[in-house]
């Protein structure tokens, strides 16, 4: 029996994720202030100034693309109906998967929750309960308006400013 407990301990050992990179021109949305869950939308320097949506909890974070968030919204009815079902122990269901993110469900503290897990960064996964999902669903329009504004207006401005700074350093230094 002791062997089984040690195996479980090894399987669920906490791995602290690396700190997230800074986002440029970041917009913040509150999912659940009491539990410190936030959604940030901004440009990632490490990702060639592409838009990144980062869901942050007190100890972990997950980066997703706007396209993947659209896929989540298209499955939101199925996800919510599954999350609202009575909790059944050891029931795991995979909703979506891509090269960088895996979305599944599990039972946590007696209720079904959505698990958003990064495949790129070890230890980066977050849990979203029914209330969090409803808040994200309510924020759908403003999130995509923010993404659209950043892609069409802010990104060209930032790239133009970087070109100007680069020209300045080339000519004056």
In this predicted model, what pLDDT tens digit does every residue of 95-138 receive, in sequence order? 988 889 999 998 888 888 999 999 888 888 899 999 999 999 99
27 and 14 in contact (C-beta within 8 Å)? no
Burial of 140 (0-12, 13-18, 19+ CB in 10 A): middle
pTM (two decimals): 0.79
Would you tell me how many other CB atoms lie within 10 Å of the CB of residue 55? Answer: 22
Q: What is the pLDDT of residue 120?
A: 87
Q: 21-155 maps to which CATH number?
A: 3.30.2450.30
pLDDT in tens, 44-86: 888 888 999 999 998 889 999 999 999 999 989 889 988 888 8
pLDDT at 8: 46
SS3 72: helix
What Cα–Cα distance (Å) separates residue 108 from each residue in 22, 120, 151?
A: 30, 24, 37
């Amino acid at each position: 029996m002791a062997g089984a407990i040690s195996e479980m301990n090894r399987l669920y050992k906490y791995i602290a994720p690396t700190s997230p990179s800074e986002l440029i021109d970041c917009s913040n949305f509150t999912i659940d202030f009491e539990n410190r869950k936030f959604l940030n939308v901004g440009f990632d320097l490490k990702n060639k100034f592409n838009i990144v949506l980062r869901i942050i909890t007190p100890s972990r974070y997950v980066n997703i693309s706007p396209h993947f968030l659209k896929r989540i919204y298209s499955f939101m009815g199925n996800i919510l109906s599954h999350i609202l079902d009575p909790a059944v122990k050891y029931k795991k269901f995979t909703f979506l998967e891509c090269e960088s993110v895996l979305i599944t469900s599990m039972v946590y503290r007696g209720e079904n929750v959505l698990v958003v897990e990064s495949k790129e960064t070890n230890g980066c996964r977050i849990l979203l309960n029914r209330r969090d999902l409803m808040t994200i669903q309510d924020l759908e329009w403003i999130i995509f308006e923010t993404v659209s504004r950043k892609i069409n207006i802010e990104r060209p401005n930032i790239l133009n400013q970087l070109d100007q700074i680069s020209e300045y350093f080339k000519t004056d230094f």
